[in-house]
Amino acid sequence: MLQSIEGVYKNGKVQLSELPSDVSESRVIVTFLEAKKPQTKKQIIRFGMFSGQKQSTEKDFQITEFHGDTEDGLDWS
């Protein structure tokens, strides 16, 4: 009897999402489906992006952090 079970191939191993029923040992055929491309998170700025010879520090990021506009009448707390 043929069974199809979804799984993931990672680091040279196949991890099944569930165990096959009534099978203790069997030959298998593994079919690789289209691989998902890793999604990269868009970043506007990253550490050291405009550093040149000088690296950005944590203090540089704290200085540029937005804490709200006191003149807009909104509560930014």
Q: How confident is the model at residue 48 (pLDDT cuts 50, 70, 90)?
A: low
22 Cβ neighbours under 8 A, 6+ residues apart: 1
Q: How confident is the model at residue 32 (pLDDT cuts 50, 70, 90)?
A: confident
For the chain, the structural domain boundaries read 40-66
What's the rounded Cα separation, in Å, for the pair 66 and 59? Answer: 13
What's the rounded Cα separation, in Å, for the pair 45 and 51? Answer: 11
Buried b or exposed e, range 12-41, using 16+ CB within 10 angstroms: eeeeeeeeeeeeeeeeeeeeeeeeeeeeee
What's the rounded Cα separation, in Å, for the pair 23 and 20? Answer: 6
pLDDT digits (tens, 9 = 90+) for 7-26: 988 889 999 999 888 888 88
